């Protein structure tokens, strides 16, 4: 068995610092003496080794899965060792959950699927080259090159699914762009982005998938062995998004919602923050309040000063028909245009004029704070907190002036505003960070130590605006 010092020899930052036969406590003592930069460097080096080992494990897992198919019967590799499937074998050997074992098998199989072709460098692969390689190979090479992790690979693969006939080139471009996006998004956000892009590229399939999930909606209750009534709900897309907005509005103070609120809402938020109930208990009580109150509920009594509501964004070209897919303002979940059309009858619309990049028109220096309509425009353009790696939705964000309003003659213009969640907004003001923008180009985040990074717009929104270079090839079903 490998000793800890032998493993540490593979990590330059720790090499030579750990003596032969060192135990876990000895290693801990060494690591605790590391400077901050050295600790981060060690983590990066360890992660690289883990990535390489994970890739090797996936290849082995894929081979085992290929030899343990149902068709192989009891003669399969896993079955001959007493396991019903490759997933069971992997779970037992690795000690992970069944869900994680299934993910490893799924990625391993996808990594080895089809006949192998010559690999390409995926990091920064131009989309026009991706189309000639094939979307599956682009994704596989992204994993092999270390550009994406196995979890990100699985998120993109499952989120996009298989393309309809004639859409392989568009899928290859989408894969290349999602791989490039992976470094600044959480796995959960990457999954959601892949699903939304799939629906934007394949509106016919989007409607079919929406209808299929709608048919699966269900609600049931039962008593467990202790006599406690339990429930299970399967939401359709629209219903799930609507429920999310209800609970998000009610629990925003607990989840880091905006600070810039009026006095009555601030008092309500302070009371909720001090409430001894857990978030799950608060959600349960809110659900029962809604059931009891029904359609006669007083919004202020149930939701506080902010009434919940589902806001949809639909791209409308004056010279063309509306986009056949709409997205939710929070989470960018794709919904068929028919859902938006039905909601327009109930709630109306708020038109926002934008350019081809989603940038709303200037509104001018009207006041110190952004107006409600400007906040809507920022949500349409940004889709949530723009800080790299943050997944906070638009409703949890605050509008930040990149030009200080009083000192720098800052303007309350959309062009000079950006959505940031409460944490990153405070981090920017108190941590000597800065955000700049040249005209309508990308926003740039300036680190206190002088480093710069571009705050890229969310990829699903770029697809929604058609701001993809080169643009994905649109396709229509065969006549």
pLDDT in tens, the chain (479 residues): 467 777 777 788 877 777 777 777 878 888 888 889 899 998 998 888 888 888 889 889 999 999 998 888 888 999 998 899 999 999 999 999 999 999 999 999 888 875 444 444 444 445 445 444 588 888 888 888 888 888 999 999 999 998 988 888 899 999 999 998 888 888 999 999 999 999 989 988 888 898 899 999 999 998 888 888 899 999 998 888 888 888 887 777 766 666 655 666 666 667 767 778 788 888 888 887 777 666 454 544 433 444 456 778 877 776 666 667 787 877 777 888 777 777 776 666 777 777 666 776 544 444 445 677 777 888 888 888 999 888 888 877 888 888 765 444 545 577 788 888 888 888 887 778 889 988 878 899 998 888 899 998 888 888 877 766 554 444 333 33
Handedness of CA 333, 338, 343, 349 (dihedral sign): positive
How far is it, in rounded angstroms, from Cα 88 to Cα 100? 11
Task: Please tell me the predicted confidence (pLDDT) of residue 263.
Answer: 66
Instruction: Please work out, in degrees rounded to the nearest 5, the angle formed at the alpha carbon of residue 414 by the alpha carbons of 408 and 415.
Output: 70
Q: CB neighbours (10 Å) of residue 274? A: 8
How far is it, in rounded angstroms, from Cα 209 to Cα 198? 11
Which contiguous run of DSSP H or E holds residue 135? helix 135-144
Q: Which residues contact 338 (CB under 8 A, 6 or more apart)?
A: 207
Q: CB neighbours (10 Å) of residue 291? A: 9
Task: Please tell me the predicted confidence (pLDDT) of residue 293.
Answer: 66
Task: Please tell me the predicted confidence (pLDDT) of residue 122.
Answer: 43
- DSSP assignment of 23-77: -HHHHHHHHHTS-HHHHHHHHHHHHHHHHHHHHHHHHHHHHHHHTS-GGGGGGST
Beta-bridge partners for 469: none
Residue 223 gets which letter from DSSP?
A: E
Its pTM surpasses 0.75: no
Pairing outcome for strands 397-401 and 434-437? unpaired
For residue 154, give both structure tokens. Answer: 């699985």
Alpha-carbon distances, residue 191 vs 126, 175, 349 (angstroms): 22, 12, 29
How far is it, in rounded angstroms, from Cα 257 to Cα 270? 12
């Amino acid at each position: 068995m490998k000793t800890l010092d032998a493993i540490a020899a593979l990590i330059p930052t720790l090499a030579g610092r750990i003596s032969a036969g060192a135990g876990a406590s000895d290693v801990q003592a060494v690591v605790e003496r590391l400077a901050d930069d050295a600790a981060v460097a060690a983590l990066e080096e360890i992660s690289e080794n883990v990535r390489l080992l994970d890739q090797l494990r996936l290849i082995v897992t894929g081979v085992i899965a290929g030899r343990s198919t149902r068709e192989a019967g009891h003669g399969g590799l896993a079955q001959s060792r007493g396991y019903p499937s490759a997933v069971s074998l992997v779970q037992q050997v690795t000690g992970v959950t069944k869900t994680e074992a299934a993910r490893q098998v799924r990625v391993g199989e996808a990594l080895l699927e089809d006949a192998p072709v010559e690999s390409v460098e995926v990091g920064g692969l131009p989309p026009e080259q991706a189309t000639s390689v094939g979307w599956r190979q682009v994704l596989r090479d992204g994993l092999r090159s270390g550009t994406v992790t196995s979890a990100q690979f699985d998120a993109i693969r499952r989120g996009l699914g298989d393309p309809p006939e004639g859409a392989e080139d568009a899928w290859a471009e989408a894969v290349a762009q999602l791989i490039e996006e992976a470094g600044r998004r959480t796995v959960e956000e990457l999954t959601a982005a892949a699903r939304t892009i799939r629906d934007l590229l394949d509106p016919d399939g989007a409607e079919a998938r929406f209808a299929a999930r709608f048919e699966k909606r269900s609600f049931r209750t039962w008593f467990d062995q202790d006599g406690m009534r339990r429930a299970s709900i399967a939401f359709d897309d629209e219903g799930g998004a609507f429920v999310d907005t209800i609970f998000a509005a009610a629990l925003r103070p607990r989840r880091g919602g905006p600070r810039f609120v009026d006095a009555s809402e601030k008092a309500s938020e302070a009371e909720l923050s001090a409430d001894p109930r857990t978030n799950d208990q608060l959600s349960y009580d809110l659900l029962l309040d809604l059931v009891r109150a029904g359609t006669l509920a007083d919004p202020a009594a149930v939701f506080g000063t902010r009434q919940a509501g589902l806001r949809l964004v639909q791209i409308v070209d004056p010279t063309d028909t509306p986009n056949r897919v709409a997205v939710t303002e929070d989470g960018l979940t794709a919904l068929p245009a028919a859902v938006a059309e039905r909601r327009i009858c109930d709630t109306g619309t708020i038109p926002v004029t934008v350019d081809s990049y989603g940038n709303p028109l200037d509104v001018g220096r009207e006041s110190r704070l952004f107006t409600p309509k400007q906040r809507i425009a920022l949500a349409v353009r940004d889709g949530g907190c723009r800080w790299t790696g943050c997944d906070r939705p638009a409703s949890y964000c605050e509008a930040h002036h990149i030009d200080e309003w009083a000192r720098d003659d800052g303007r309350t213009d959309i062009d000079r505003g950006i959505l940031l969640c409460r944490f990153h907004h405070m981090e920017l003001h108190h941590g000597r960070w800065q955000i700049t923008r040249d005209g309508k180009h990308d926003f740039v985040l300036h680190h206190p130590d002088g480093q710069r990074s571009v705050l890229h717009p969310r990829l699903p929104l770029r697809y929604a605006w058609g701001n993809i270079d080169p643009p994905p090839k649109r396709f229509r079903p065969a006549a």
